[in-house]
Each structure stands twice: as C-alpha cells, then as structure tokens.
Amino acid sequence: MTNRLLNKVAIVTGSTRGIGRAIATLFAAEGAYVVFNSHRFDDAAAEMIATMDKDRSLFIEADVSDPASMQQLVDQTIARFGPVDVLINNAGMDVFSEPLEMTPAQWQRCFAVDLEGAWNTARSVLPSMLGKGAGSIVNIASVHGHKIIPGCFPYPVAKHALIGLTKSLGIEYAARGIRVNSISPGLIMTDNVKNWLNSCPDPAAETARQAAILPCKRIGTPEEVAYTALFLASDEARFINATDILIDGGRSQLYHE
C-alpha cells in the first residue's frame, strides 16, 4: 500500500464483481474510504462486505438507472464519510441485438444503465465536488466506444455517448477543479468473459484464439484496469482531463486482423 488515495472518499458503482470489484479493492488498499455498490444484494455483495474494512467502507444497494436512488447513495456517503472526492462510474450491462429485432425495452435499459446511470451518479456528486473545488470522475467506457463490432448493437452507441459525456463534463467544470475522464477496456478476464468462454464448445481453444488476436497475446485483467482508474483518481493525474484511455493491449490500433 502506498496511500495514493489516503482518506479520499470514493464511490465505485457496480463494484461487487469484475472490474468494479478490482477498483474498489485497490482503492481501499490505497487508503480511501470506499462506497461500493450493486443493484442487488447477492453472494458477491455479501462476500465483498466480508472482505472490506467495515470502518472505512460501505455497501449500498441501488440501481444506477434510478436518479433518486443515486442521490440517496451520495447522501449516505456524505453522511458517513464526508464530501465525495472520487466517483468511478463502472456499473454497466451488455445489450447485444440485431437492430431491427431489438425491443424498445432492450434499447431503453441499455441507455438507462450504460449512459444515464453515469449521469445520474455524476449529477448527484457534482455539488459535493464543486463545493470543495476538487474532484475526479472516471467513467468506465469500452473499446466498443471506439470500434464497432458487428452483432453488438446498441451497446456501442451507449459507450460512444458515454465518452462524449466524459469530454463534455470535463470541459464544463475544468475551471472549477473537477476532472472527468474515461477508461475504455478491451477484452478483460472478468466473470462475464469467463462465463462466455466456458459456454463455447471448446473453452480452451476459444481462450487461445482470443488471446492470439491481441498484439500482446494475452487477455487483460481487472487489476490492470483498476490501476489506471487509481492513477486517474489520484492527484498524480491532476492535469489529465476530458480524456479517454484505451486499455486493450493495442488491439484497436490494428489495421486488419
């Protein structure tokens, strides 16, 4: 532990699994007070609660698509730990459909979580950050926000918009001490990716195939994304704003496969 976030108050949404969990765990190890979150209380949430320092962490069950719930989450955070220094908008969901077969409910839910969820939480923390004249918001976007993969509609639409939200808010509040950046992970070995690989006819072969198309010849880890979030959240990145960082092993820079 190097205390890069010593006594900072951080909210990490969607943080009982995968990338969010790695971020929340790392922030706690770096000295932050951490509020971690999920839209449901399940085994993953219970396990996370058991591993975190109860005096320096708090689990709040809330759906990011509900503005009132996000305001309550922020209010509870401030009441427990004080003004918010860092927000990591990690909560998200995959919605992949053929465009003309997609239902209105699928479209609405995708944007409610992947785009509006980030805005709901940012809107709730901004008064606290503006009040102290400092704050870092990091949105977890995706390589889908840069390159289009067929069969994944409308997820890339929401992630492109999330990167736009990042840049717009970053510029809007830059002179008032607020930084807003995003991270765009590529293929990361989360629980969801493991489940997808295990569902393939030959999981080992598919894992090897996916690794082979990456320039670094391996799949990324949640911890690698977490360390980038840590840097952006910390004062080390105080001159970085309205920027997106790709974490995809260089995959998106290839001209062809």
Helix, strand, coil percentages (3-state) for the chain, rounded to 5, are: 50, 15, 35
The catalytically annotated residue of 33, 155, 173, 227 is: 155
* Four-point Cα dihedral 58, 65, 14, 239, nearest 10: -90
For the question of residue 227 being annotated catalytic, the response is no
What gap in Å lies between CA 6 and CA 89, rounded to an integer? 20
Q: C-alpha distances in angstroms, 249 versus 5, 63, 102, 152, 213?
A: 26, 31, 31, 21, 10
DSSP H stretches of helix in the chain: 18-29, 43-51, 67-81, 104-114, 116-132, 155-173, 191-199, 203-212, 222-233
> How many residues are there in the chain?
257
Token readout for 120 is: 């709901």
Give me the amino acid identity at 221: T
Strand bridging mode 33-38 / 9-12: parallel
Active site residues: 155
